[in-house]
């Protein structure tokens, strides 16, 4: 049992930054004369890197893949300890700040404990069933329009196409605007902000990924600041307008800065994760036509009764579609690893880990551990059927995290995914070139290196 609960969070500057010596008692990597080489090597194949570390060192190990020292905590028990965080040992703010703090400061995931709980509750109004029903109506319309514009009977790169469509959809559900000339600039700002999270240079120098990311953040913040006065007191079912009018438990509105921070983060949290997971799901359905056919049969049965726009009440009927999505999230989780920073000393796996240590849990690796997943490399959506899920460790599948910071948008993600496949697969068969296998870049968010060549054949 670790030390008792306390929600005071020391500032990062008051926590000791454990170096090699503080962690020398743990198994793991030794110092490297050129740690940047290690980062570059790791980014080439992160899954192979983690697999090699676990094989060599076990489930608790020391690494310095991104310059500073941190400790990998591997497996469902580690996920539960860190994500559920019963003893309030781990700071999400201090874990994520070195990764995305410059570009997404004070986003919900970068707040801790009482502050986090209060803001999460305030923002939750926008995720209740009524607004969700409204977003689904908009998603159905936008997706039908977007898919009608996809090339048919000719190969095209799916990843950029779905990225653009997801951004268009965000314009209506997130921002409440009809998409216009600002779309390209916003798209570029987001790409730059996300790319900055793995920029090797961590300072915003001109010409670096971090420099472009910080510029993107400035652009987006100005955009939101301009719009906020128009939304205060206005009616609107989009996330942005709801955040502008949401009140906390004391009846107070969020400040302009809080709205800007939450919107910047929310757009990022939703946009790239959806783009990645819709791409991976379609890829697996294209290389497993038998599953594509099962999903289509399920969709057609609903469509025969409900018509071309998926009704909110029928979301639960797309069970096998959901299994396929879950299986794609297992194999290619959009958030492959999740960082935290220990606020106090703690013990795990027989090791003492000092306060201040940066730790990381790893959905990407956990999702392929043979002791929890039969034939882990095989795409087998029925492993998510009710029967086969029984008895599985609750933290063996964590694409949406867990505990207090568990993804706030997961129902939105399922909804957009179902609306998309309902519309696409009821009209088209999706194929890839014969024998094609996609090479996904894993970090920071999985994406196909070649954009994923897809062909849509009208049924
Ligand atoms: C397949 C799609 C998605 C995946 C895999 C995903 C994954 C995650 C994960 C792993 C976390 C927790 C990270 C941590 O504990 O440090 C998270 C948090 C979050 N996600 Fe998602 N996400 C997805 C889609 C979305 C969407 C569509 C939205 C918004 C509509 C969203 C909004 C958020 C927010 C606001 C948080 C922070 C929650 C908190 O700190 O309390 N996500 N997401």
pLDDT digits (tens, 9 = 90+) for 119-167: 999 999 999 999 999 999 999 999 999 999 999 989 999 999 999 899 8
- The verdict on the CB of residue 409 being under 6 Å from ligand 1 is yes
pLDDT at 49 over 80: yes
26, 75, 88: which is closest to 354 by C-alpha? 26
Number of C-alpha atoms within 13 angstroms, CB side, residue 129?
Answer: 4
Which residue from 396, 401, 327 is spatially nearest to 365, judged by alpha carbons?
Answer: 396
Domain boundaries, the chain: 12-458
Nearest CA to ligand 1 atom 3: 273
Is a pLDDT exceeding 90 seen at residue 193? no
- Cα 333 from chain centre: 8
- Number of alpha helices (DSSP H) and beta strands (DSSP E) in the chain: 16, 12
User: Residue 72: which H helix or E strand, with range?
Assistant: strand 70-73
pLDDT for residue 201 is more than 80: no
Q: Is 413 in the pocket of ligand 1 (CB under 6 A)?
A: yes
Question: Above 50 in pLDDT, residue 4?
Answer: no
Q: Could you give the percent of the chain with pLDDT greater than 90?
A: 77
Residue 315 reports pLDDT greater than 90: yes
Lowest mean pLDDT of 10-14, 325-329, 348-352, name the range.
10-14
Average pLDDT over residues 89-109: 92
Residue 183 is predicted with a pLDDT of 66
Tell me what pLDDT residue 421 has. Answer: 98
| Ligand 1 center from residue 445 Cα (angstroms) | 13
Query: Token digits for 150?
Result: 């996809």
One-character DSSP codes across 357-381: -EEEE-HHHHTT-TTTSSSTTS--G
Atom of ligand 1 nearest to the CA of 338: 16
Q: Before 444, cis peptide (omega within 30)?
A: yes
Q: Check if the beta carbon of residue 359 is closer than 8 Å to that of residue 339.
A: yes
**Cβ of residue 92 lying under 6 Å from some atom of ligand 1:** yes
Please give the mean pLDDT across all residues of the chain.
93
Give yes or no for residue 108 CB within 6 A of ligand 1: yes
**How many residues appear in the chain?**
459
Which numeric CATH code is attached to 12-458?
Answer: 1.10.630.10
Distance 116 CA to ligand 1 centre (A): 14
Closest CA relative to residue 451, chosen from 439, 442, 433: 439
Band of pLDDT at residue 109, cut at 50, 70 and 90? very high
Give yes or no for residue 1 having a pLDDT over 50.
Answer: no
Give the residue among 29, 34, 25, 102 at the shortest CA–CA distance from 69.
29
Q: Which residue has the tokens 């003492």?
A: 352
What average pLDDT does range 169-196 have in this prediction? 77
- Dihedral sign, Cα of residue 20, residue 81, residue 123, residue 141: positive
Q: Is the CB of 106 under 6 A from ligand 1?
A: no
Q: How many CB atoms lie within 10 A of CB 284?
A: 20
Burial of 434 (0-12, 13-18, 19+ CB in 10 A): exposed
**Residue 265 C-alpha from the chain's centroid:** 11
Q: Say which residue, 184 or 188, is predicted with more confidence.
A: 188
| Model confidence band, residue 7 (pLDDT cutoffs 50, 70, 90) | low
Considering Cα of 275, then 280, then 286, then 290, what sign does the dihedral take?
negative
Residue 370 burial (C-beta neighbours within 10 Å; 0-12, 13-18, 19+):
exposed
- Please give the DSSP secondary-structure letter assigned to residue 207: T
- Under a CB-based contact definition with an 8 Å cutoff, are residues 259 and 307 in contact? no
Average pLDDT over residues 445-454: 96
339 lines ligand 1 (CB under 6 A): no
Cα 25 to averaged position of ligand 1 atoms, centre (Å): 34
Residue closest by Cα to atom 16 of ligand 1? 338
pLDDT at residue 13 is higher than 80: no
Max Cα–Cα distance, the chain, nearest Å:
66
Within 10 angstroms of residue 325's Cβ, the number of other Cβ atoms is 26
Q: What is the dihedral sign for C-alpha 43, 49, 51, 54? A: negative
Is 318 in contact with 298 (CB distance < 8 Å)?
yes
Concatenating the DSSP letter of every residue in 217-242 gives HHHHHHHHHHHHHHHTT----SHHHH
pLDDT at 441 exceeding the cut of 90? yes
Asked if pLDDT for residue 3 goes beyond 60, the answer is no
Q: Position of tokens 């910047």?
A: 264
> How buried is 77 (Cβ within 10 angstroms: 0-12 exposed, 13-18 middle, 19+ buried)?
middle
The pLDDT assigned to 263 comes to: 93
Q: Is 318's C-beta closer than 6 angstroms to any atom of ligand 1? A: no
Please compute the mean of the pLDDT values over residues 42-58 and round it to a whole number. 95
For the stretch 225-257, pLDDT in tens is: 999 999 999 999 999 999 999 999 999 999 999
Measured in whole angstroms, how far is the alpha carbon of residue 290 from the centre of its chain?
28
Average pLDDT over residues 315-331: 98
Instruction: Return the residue whose CA atom lies nearest to atom 30 of ligand 1.
Output: 409
Mean pLDDT lowest for which of 3-12, 126-135, 171-180?
3-12
Q: What gap in Å lies between CA 175 and CA 107, rounded to an integer?
A: 17
- Kindly report each contact of residues 21-27 with a partner whose C-beta sits within 8 Å and lies 24 or more positions away, as own/partner: 22/354, 22/357, 23/62, 23/69, 23/71, 23/353, 23/354, 23/357, 25/351, 25/352, 26/60, 26/61, 26/62, 26/71, 26/351, 26/353, 27/56, 27/57, 27/58, 27/60, 27/61, 27/62
Which position has the higher pLDDT, 34 or 262? 262
Ligand 1: atom nearest CA of 271 is 27
SS3 of residue 235 by DSSP: coil
Tell me if 412 CB under 6 Å of ligand 1: yes
CB–CB of 44/10 below 8 Å? no
Exposed e or buried b per residue across 94-108, where buried means at least 16 C-beta atoms within 10 angstroms of its C-beta: bbbbbbbbbbbbbbb
Q: What integer is the mean pLDDT of 58-86?
A: 95
Q: Which of 16, 12, 175 is nearest to 97 (CA)?
A: 12
Cα of 370 vs its chain's centroid, Å:
24
CA 215 vs. chain centroid, Å, equals: 22
- pLDDT exceeds 60 at position 6: no
Phi/psi of residue 27, nearest 5 degrees? -70, 155
| Cα–Cα distance, 84 to 366 (Å, whole number) | 16
Q: How far is the CA of 407 from the centre of ligand 1 (A)?
A: 3
According to the model, what pLDDT value does residue 200 have?
A: 67
Q: What is the CA radius of gyration of the chain?
A: 22
User: Is 120 near ligand 1, meaning CB less than 6 Å away?
Assistant: yes
The predicted structure's pLDDT at residue 8: 67
> Which segments of 157-238 does DSSP mark as H helices, in order?
158-170, 182-196, 209-231
pLDDT of residue 199: 67
């Amino acid at each position: 049992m670790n030390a008792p609960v306390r929600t005071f969070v020391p500032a990062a500057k008051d926590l000791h930054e454990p170096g090699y010596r503080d962690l020398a008692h743990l198994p793991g990597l030794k110092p490297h004369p050129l740690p940047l080489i290690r980062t570059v090597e790791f980014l080439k194949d992160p899954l192979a890197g983690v697999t090699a570390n676990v094989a060599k060192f076990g489930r608790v190990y020391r690494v310095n893949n991104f310059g500073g020292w941190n400790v990998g905590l591997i497996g469902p028990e580690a996920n539960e300890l860190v994500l559920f965080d019963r003893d309030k040992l781990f700071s999400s703010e201090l874990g994520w700040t070195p990764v995305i703090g410059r570009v997404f400061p004070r986003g919900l995931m970068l707040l801790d404990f009482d502050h986090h709980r209060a803001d999460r509750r305030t923002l939750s109004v926008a995720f209740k069933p009524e607004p969700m029903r409204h977003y689904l109506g908009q998603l159905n319309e936008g997706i039908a329009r977007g898919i009608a514009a996809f090339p048919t009977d000719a190969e095209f790169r799916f990843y950029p196409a779905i990225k653009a469509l997801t951004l268009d959809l965000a314009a209506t559900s997130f921002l409440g605007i009809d998409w216009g000339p600002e779309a390209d600039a916003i798209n570029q700002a987001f790409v730059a902000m996300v790319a900055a999270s793995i920029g090797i240079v961590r300072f915003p120098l001109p010409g670096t990924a971090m420099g472009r990311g910080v510029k993107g953040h400035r652009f987006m913040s100005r955009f939101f600041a301009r719009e906020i006065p128009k939304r205060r007191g206005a009616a609107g079912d989009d996330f942005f307008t709801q955040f502008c009018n949401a009140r906390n438990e004391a009846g107070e509105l969020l400040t302009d800065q809080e709205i800007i921070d939450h919107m910047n983060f929310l757009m990022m949290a939703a946009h790239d994760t959806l783009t990645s997971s819709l791409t991976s799901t379609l890829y697996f359905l294209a290389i497993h036509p038998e599953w594509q056919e099962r999903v289509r049969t399920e969709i057609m049965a609903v469509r025969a009764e409900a018509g071309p726009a998926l009704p909110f009440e029928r979301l639960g009927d797309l069970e096998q579609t959901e299994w396929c999505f879950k299986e794609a999230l297992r194999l290619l989780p959009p958030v492959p690893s999740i960082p935290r920073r220990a606020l106090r000393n703690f013990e795990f796996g027989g090791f003492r880990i000092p306060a201040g240590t940066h730790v990381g849990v790893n959905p990407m690796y956990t999702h392929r551990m043979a002791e929890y997943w039969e034939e882990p490399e095989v795409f087998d959506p029925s492993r998510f059927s009710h029967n086969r899920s029984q008895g599985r460790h609750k933290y063996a599948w964590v694409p949406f995290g867990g505990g207090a910071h568990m993804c706030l948008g997961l129902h939105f993600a399922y909804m957009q995914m179902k609306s998309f496949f309902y519309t696409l697969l009821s009209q088209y068969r999706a194929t890839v070139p014969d024998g094609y296998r996609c090479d996904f870049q894993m970090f920071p968010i999985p994406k196909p290196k070649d954009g994923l060549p897809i062909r849509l054949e009208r049924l």
